[in-house]
Amino acid sequence: MTQNPRLNRWIEEIKTLCEPDALVLCDGSPEEYNRMMTALTDAGVAKPLNPGLRPNSYLVRSDPADVARVESRTFICSAQEADAGPTNHWADPDQMRSTLTDLFKGCMRGRTMYVIPFSMGPVGSPIAHIGVEISDSPYVVASMHIMTRVGRAVLAELGTDGAFVPCLHSVGQPIPDGATSAPWPCNPENLYVAHFPETREIWSFGSGYGGNALLGKKCFALRIASAMARQEGWLAEHMLILKLTNAAGEYRYVAGAFPSACGKTNLAMLVPSIPGWTVETVGDDICWMKFGEDGQLYAINPEAGFFGVAPGTGMDTNPNAMAALHGNCIFTNVAETEDGDIWWEGMTPEPPARLTDWLGNPWTPDSGTPAAHPNARFTVSAAQCPAIADEWEDLKGVPISAILFGGRRASVVPLVNEAKDWAQGTFFGSIVASEKTAAAAGKIGELRRDPMAMLPFCGYNMADYWQHWINIGQTPGAKLPKIFYVNWFRKDDSGGFVWPGFGENARVLEWVFERCLGRAEAIDTPIGRLPTLTGINFANLDLTDDAISTLLKVDVGGWLAEIPLIEAYYESFGEKVPDALWEQLASLKQRLLASAEHSA
C-alpha cells in the first residue's frame, strides 16, 4: 500500500484488529478535505456557515460529553512506573495494550479506517518528525489537514525505511449492521489516551475531540516528542515562538511557555504598542528546538495550524487571530448567529440578541448559560494569520535568543526577571505556577505548579525532564538563549491588575530584546536580574510610581514564604530532582535571608 514495509504491516495489523468496512490512505488534497466535510455535513454534525460571511467554513457540534482533553484518562505507559513520575497517570504497558486490544477489536465496524501520514514540522526539516494516524473519524482527517502536513510528500519523505510514530485512534463506537452512526460518535465511558514512550506509540480510544483525537498535537508533539528529545538531546516544549523586530529592522526570535489561560496565543500574535516594532508569529503552542552547527537552538513550530480557544478571542484581544478566521475554518462548539455565522463570549463587546447555543438550543443574553462552550475551538491554517512570519516554514528553523516562562501570579513574582544563567532559568521554569484567579490580593493564593507549562504534557518523569534541561545547558559549544520569568498578572491591594498586558507586553519584550543584544542595563537582585526602575519604557501608561515599584519589586518576604512551598514541591518528586535545582533553591534562600537581614 505504501513503500514502507513497517507501515504496511502496521496498517494490515490494525485493519485486522478493527475490522473497518473500508480503508482510505489519505493524500491531503483539498478534494479529500471537502469529502470529509461533506460526509460530516451529511451526518448532521457539521453545518456549512453562510458563505457570504464565512466562506468555506463549518460549525461542528460535538457530543456534550466529549468537549475537552481528559487528563484523568491520559496515561504514560512506561515499563517502570517511576519513569512516568508522580505528575502523570501510569499504567503497565502490557496491561494497557491488552485492555486496548480488547476495546479496539471490531471497533471500526461500519466505518472507514483512514490512514493519515503526517509531518510535524515542514516536510524534510531536520527538526521535523513523521507520524501516521489511523482514525475512523472524518473530523480528525479534516482537522489533521489543517493542523499538520498530510499526504504524499510525507510518504515520499518516509521512504522505505523512515521512522514514524504510529498513532492509533478510534471514536470507539462501531455501527451495528443496518444502523446509522450517531452524529458525533464517542465512547466516554471507555476513554483512554495512552502513550508508550519507549516504543513511541500512541493509542487513543473513545473521544473525537481536540487533544484526545488529533494525535499530532499534545500526544505526539509534546508527550512522545519530549521522551524522544530526552534520548536525542533536543527540546520539545509547550511554547509559542515569535519574531520581534525593532524600529531599526533588527530582529530576534523568542519562545515562551505559559500555562493555559495566560494568553499564549494572544502573545504569539501581539500587536505591539511601541511605534515601529512588530511581532510576527512562528507558532502559538508547541516548539521543537535542536542545536544547529553554530551551537544555537533552532526552533520550528511542528504544527501547521491553530487549534485555539475561541471564547475570549476578539478584535480587542487578538485582531490577528480574528483576521485569520475570515474563512476556511472549522469552528467547534461555538454559538451560531441568525444569519449563519458564529459567535462566542468575548468576540464582540455585546452579544447578539438571539443565537443558537453550542448545544443547538435557542439562546438570548438572559439565558444565563454560556452561548459557546468555554472550550469551544477554532481550527485554522497558520498561513491565514496576517502576522505569520515569512520564515515560519524554514526547514532549518529559527535561532532562539530568549525563552520566557510565565504564570498567573497576583503577588510575589515581578513583571520580568532575567536568569543569570541556564541553570537558574531551568529553576525558574521548574517553579512556574498560577494562582487561582480568585486569590486574595497581596496574599499568596492557592498555587498550581505547572513546570515549564508542561504539567499535563511531559511524557516522562518531570524531575528527569528538569535534569534533561540542566543537561542541555551543559552541551559543549552551546550558545544558549537567555531565560526570563515574566508575570503579566500582578495585582494591587484592591485586586486590580497593575499591568495593562496585551499590546503593552511589547514593552517587556523590548527589554528582553535589548538584554539579548547586550544593550539594556539590569540590576542583580537576590531573585535574579531585574530592569532598573527606568529600564522599561513605561511612558504614557498612566502608571503611578507605586505601581512601577510593585511591578519591579523584589518581594523578599513573599519569596521567603514561598521557599518552603517549593521545597515541599521538589520533595514530592523524591530522589530524582536534579542537585542543580536544589542548589538553586538553597542559594536563593541564602540570598533572600542575607537581604532580609541587611534591611532589618
| Catalytic residue positions, numbered | 262
Give percent helix, percent strand, percent coil of the chain, each to the nearest 5.
30, 25, 45
Q: Per CB under 5 A, which region of 280-288, 354-362, 402-410, 434-442 contacts Mn ion?
A: 280-288
Complex with ligand OXD: residue 312 or 578, whichever CB lies closer: 312
Helix H, strand E, coil C: the string for 172-213 is CCCCCCCCCCCCCCCCHHHCEEEEECCCCEEEEECCCCHHHH
Burial label for 405, CB within 10 Å (0-12, 13-18, 19+), is buried
- Shortest gap between Cβ of 259 and Mn ion (angstroms)? 9
- Which three three-digit cell numbers place residue 207? 473521544
Residue 572, contacted partner among ligand OXD, Mn ion, none, CB below 5-8 A by kind? none
- Shortest gap between Cβ of 375 and ligand OXD (angstroms)? 8
Complex with ligand OXD: residue 69 or 482, whichever CB lies closer: 69
| From 85, 121, 211, 283, residue interacting with ligand OXD (rule: CB under 6 A) | 211
Q: Which distant-in-sequence residues (6+ apart) come within 8 Å of 383 by Cβ?
A: 304
281-315 burial code (b ≥16 CB/10 A, e <16): bbbbbbbbbbbeeeebbbbbbbbbbbbbbbbbbbe
Complex with ligand OXD: residue 230 or 377, whichever CB lies closer: 377
What is the C-alpha to C-alpha distance for residues 457 and 88, in angstroms, rounded to an integer?
Answer: 9
Handedness of CA 89, 233, 451, 269 (dihedral sign): negative
Query: Does residue 56 bind ligand OXD (CB under 6 A)?
Result: no
- Shortest gap between Cβ of 69 and ligand OXD (angstroms)? 6
Burial label for 444, CB within 10 Å (0-12, 13-18, 19+), is middle
Query: Does residue 311 bind ligand OXD (CB under 6 A)?
Result: no
Q: Using CB positions, name the residue nearest to ligand OXD.
A: 285
By CB under 6 A, the residues from 511 to 530 that bind ligand OXD are: none
The pair phi, psi for residue 241, each rounded to 5°, is -130, 125
Give which of 171, 194, 63 is closest to 108, Cα–Cα.
Answer: 171
Number of residues that bind ligand OXD (CB under 6 A): 4
- Shortest gap between Cβ of 184 and ligand OXD (angstroms)? 19
Query: Does residue 260 bind ligand OXD (CB under 6 A)?
Result: yes
What is the C-alpha to C-alpha distance for residues 573 and 511, in angstroms, rounded to an integer?
Answer: 35
- Shortest gap between Cβ of 45 and ligand OXD (angstroms)? 21
- Shortest gap between Cβ of 497 and ligand OXD (angstroms)? 22
Q: Using CB positions, name the residue nearest to Mn ion.
A: 285
3-state class of 26 per DSSP? coil
Complex with Mn ion: residue 11 or 236, whichever CB lies closer: 236
Q: Per CB under 5 A, which region of 23-31, 154-162, 274-282, 283-291 contacts Mn ion?
A: 283-291
Residue 32, contacted partner among Mn ion, ligand OXD, none, CB below 5-8 A by kind? none
Please give the single-letter amino acid code of residue 152.
R
Number of residues that bind Mn ion (CB under 5 A): 1
By CB under 6 A, the residues from 87 to 106 that bind ligand OXD are: none
- Shortest gap between Cβ of 377 and ligand OXD (angstroms)? 8
Query: Does residue 285 bind Mn ion (CB under 5 A)?
Result: yes
DSSP summary character for residue 429: H
| From 136, 280, 285, 435, residue interacting with ligand OXD (rule: CB under 6 A) | 285
What is the C-alpha to C-alpha distance for residues 553 and 540, in angstroms, rounded to an integer?
Answer: 21
DSSP summary character for residue 231: H
Name beta bridge partners: 417: 485
Q: Which distant-in-sequence residues (6+ apart) come within 8 Å of 476 by Cβ?
A: none
Query: Does residue 70 bind ligand OXD (CB under 6 A)?
Result: no
Complex with ligand OXD: residue 218 or 252, whichever CB lies closer: 218
Name beta bridge partners: 356: 336, 362
Complex with Mn ion: residue 285 or 357, whichever CB lies closer: 285
Complex with ligand OXD: residue 2 or 260, whichever CB lies closer: 260
Residue 211, contacted partner among ligand OXD, Mn ion, none, CB below 5-8 A by kind? ligand OXD
Binding site for ligand OXD (CB under 6 A): 69, 211, 260, 285
Binding site for Mn ion (CB under 5 A): 285
